[in-house]
Structure formats: C-alpha cells, structure tokens
Amino acid sequence: MTLDYNSLLMALAVSTTCLAVTLLGSWFARRAETFLLTGTLGLTLIIAGIVVYGLYVDDPKTAFAVASFVLFHAGFAALWGAGSQFLTGTLPRTATVACALAAMLVSIPPMLAGYDGLGFIAENIAIAAMLFGTAHHYWRARAEAPAPLMGITALYCLTATSFVLCAGVLIADGKMVLGAAPSNWAEDFSIAISIASMTGIGALSLALHQWRLAARHRLDAITDPLTGLLNRRALFDRHGHGAMGATTAVLIFDLDHFKSINDTFGHAGGDRVLKVFAAELAANCRAGDIAARLGGEEFALVLNETMPGRAELVAERIRRAFAKRDVYLDDETLNCTVSVGVAPGLSTPLDFDAMLSAADKALYAAKRAGRNRIELASHLHAVPAGAVRTGS
C-alpha cells in the first residue's frame, strides 16, 4: 500500500469523525431525536474500524483484519438501525444485532480459514447491503423533508455502490487468497466516494435538523401544550375564512363547575381533568374532524361531512362517556360533567364566526338550564341529560 492510500484512510477517518460530531451536536440540541445518538455510535465504531484497518494495511495480520471486520459490521449495522429509528421512532435492537452478526458470520470465517480474498468480498457485499438498507429507510421517510432526505438517500446508495465495485473487482480477479489488504482502483474510488459522502451527509443532516426544528416550532405554534389538541389560533386559521358548508357542524364544550375543581384539587387536578376530557374528545374524532381547546375549560369540535342529526348524537356520546369517566385526584374518585352547545349545518351557509357564536349561545343556554346537557342552536329548547332532540 502506498502513502496515498494511507492518506485517504486518514481523510476518511477525519470526515467520518466530523459527521459523528455533527450528529452528536444535533442530539445535544434535541435529545428526543435518539436516532442521532444511534448514528453517532455507529460512526464511532466505523472510525475505530478505519484505524484498525490502517494497522492491517501496514502489517497484514489476521487479528487486525478480524477486528476491523467486527467494528465495521457493528458500525454499519448501527447506521442501519439509526435509519430505521428515524423512520419508525423505535430502534430495532434485535434486528440491528442480527444484522451485524450475520455480516460477521459471512466474512470472518473465510478470513480465519486463510481465504482473505473471499473474506474481503463478503465484507464489501455485507456493508453494501447494510448501506442500501439504510438508504431505503431514509427514502421511505422522504415525505417529511424531501430535499435533505433524498440527498442522504442518494449518498448512501452511492457509497453502497462503491463497495459493490470493490467486491466486483476482487471477484473478477479470482484471487481467494491475497496475503495483504486489497489494492486496486475500486478501493481508491470507494474511499474517495466515502469521504465525499460523509461530508455531504453531514451537511444534509444539519439541513434536516433545521428542517425538523422548524417543523416542530410550527407544530408547537398551533398545539395546546397541555392537551395536545389544536389551539384557538389553529382552529381559526383553518376555519376562520369563508362560509361553512351545510354538512359542517360546530360543537362547543364547557366543563361544569371547573372552578370548584381547581379550588379543591389545585391546578394540577384541574389539568388532569382537562386531559381526560381532551382524550375523550379526540377519541370521537373521525379523519377530517377538528378538535381544539379554545382556552380554559372550553373546547370546540368541528364535524365535517356530517349527516343531519349526527352532531347531536356525537355531542351526547361525548357527554355521556365523560360523565362515566372516573378521574382520580388526591386519592379521591371524581366524576365530572360537561355542557355542550351545538350549531348544526344549515342549508344557508354561515361563516365560522357566526356558527361559533351560535354554538356559544347554545352552550350558555345549556348552562342556565342546569348543565350536563346539550343545547341546539337551531332551536333554543334545552335537551335534558340523557336525551337528544333533533326536531325543530
């Protein structure tokens, strides 16, 4: 091996270290992104593998080769696991370990048996397979951030292809016993591609981190932090312009006697009750429906594409379900109730403010009539608890 090859190995170690530092720094900035930590671990193992492989280049002892294989396969398997973790949110520990062990089982035995050429062929193919698998994970997640994720996918595929070329050249040469580290144009090309890819993946990872951070800020801006529902601002952004269709209904919910709950159990107890109701509200949402917290103990539900009479039935179902829920506060079991104002869709379109105002008036009518009931805005006759009026 020439000094130039050793210099390439050193450059690869440096670029891989830079990528590892980039991922670790991003993880420190956002600890919830644990795939970054998994990726950092994988890159650290790969860096160690590069160092050990450099020792093998200078002194081709089997022990150095085997050690580098172990480190490389563990590292690339961790990168594959990090890609899966990015896609699904969960690290597949068993699959990651199995991936590393499978790669070791196909490459290390030939090396120990003296067929180092066959060992390097198996190593290159195994690494290429793990890199293609990693690329596939990011490709499947591309909808989240198309530009950086498609770039990362392409770079992983390019690096994997360079390892395939290394295996292909060794197969073409037909040498199952080398006695030294492989030395050919494909090896040089693979290292050069890997250096460029590590640099590019590092830059794209930073872009991806900023993309996700901006998306998180946008989500935080429209989400109620206590309940996880949309907030008032988001509700008006979605429905505050234009007329509501005849199949759209607006429901407003207000928890009964909420001030006394806060006074008795403190704000922590009140927050617990709000979360329980929010969960009940969310459970009754279909795709396309919008649930939001308007503020305090007041919530809204916008039902889209709903049939006549369904809004009242949904309101009654939520009212009953919440009244049956046991809320445990300070070793006590509390049963709470909610009042509901319903503004069903009308043949004459109304804007969102008008429908919200109608539902709000119906809500206060329900409060005045004794609470724990629903009231329809289309006819201000109270609906007793346990009953729903749908006539005019």
pLDDT above 80: residue 23: yes
Collapse the DSSP code of 26 into the 3-class scheme (helix H, G, I; strand E, B; otherwise coil) and give the result.
Answer: helix
pLDDT of the residue at 242: 64
pLDDT of the residue at 57: 92
pLDDT of the residue at 175: 87
pLDDT of the residue at 347: 60
pLDDT of the residue at 285: 85
Distance between terminal CA atoms of the chain?
91
Percentage of residues of the chain with pLDDT beyond 90:
56
**Residue 104 contacts residue 127 (beta carbons within 8 Å):** no
pLDDT above 80: residue 345: no
pLDDT of the residue at 111: 94
pLDDT of the residue at 114: 93
Query: Given its phi and psi angles, is residue 222 left (phi above 0), alpha (psi -120 to 50 degrees) or beta?
Result: alpha
What's the burial of 84, exposed, middle or buried (CB within 10 Å: 0-12/13-18/19+)? buried
Q: Which helix (H) or strand (E) holds 333?
A: strand 332-334
Beta-ladder partners of 351: 243
Round to whole Å and give the CA distance between 114 and 140: 41
pLDDT above 50: residue 277: yes
**Residue 42 contacts residue 131 (beta carbons within 8 Å):** no
Percentage of residues of the chain with pLDDT beyond 70:
93
Q: What's the DSSP call for residue 379? A: S
Tell which residue, 311, 307, 308, has the closest CA to residue 340: 311
Residue 382, C-beta contacts closer than 8 angstroms, at least 6 positions apart: 365, 366, 369, 370, 373, 375
Beta strand ranges found along 109-245 (DSSP E): 230-231, 243-244
How much is the average pLDDT of 360-389?
72
Q: What's the DSSP call for residue 350? A: E
pLDDT above 90: residue 207: no
- What domains sit in the chain, N to C, each tagged with a CATH number? 3-222 (1.20.1070.10), 230-383 (3.30.70.270)
Round to whole Å and give the CA distance between 239 and 56: 66
Reported as a single tens digit per residue, the pLDDT across 37-72 is: 999 999 999 999 999 999 999 999 999 999 999 999
Reported as a single tens digit per residue, the pLDDT across 141-200 is: 998 889 899 999 999 999 999 999 999 999 999 989 999 999 999 999 999 999 999 888
Six-digit token string for 21: 């530092």
Six-digit token string for 29: 């900035």
Collapse the DSSP code of 303 into the 3-class scheme (helix H, G, I; strand E, B; otherwise coil) and give the result.
Answer: strand
How much is the average pLDDT of 15-25?
89
pLDDT above 60: residue 1: no
pTM of this structure: 0.67
Burial pattern 183-220, b for ≥16 Cβ within 10 A else e, equals eeebbeebbebbbebbbbbbebbebbbebbeeeeeeee
Residue type, 162: S
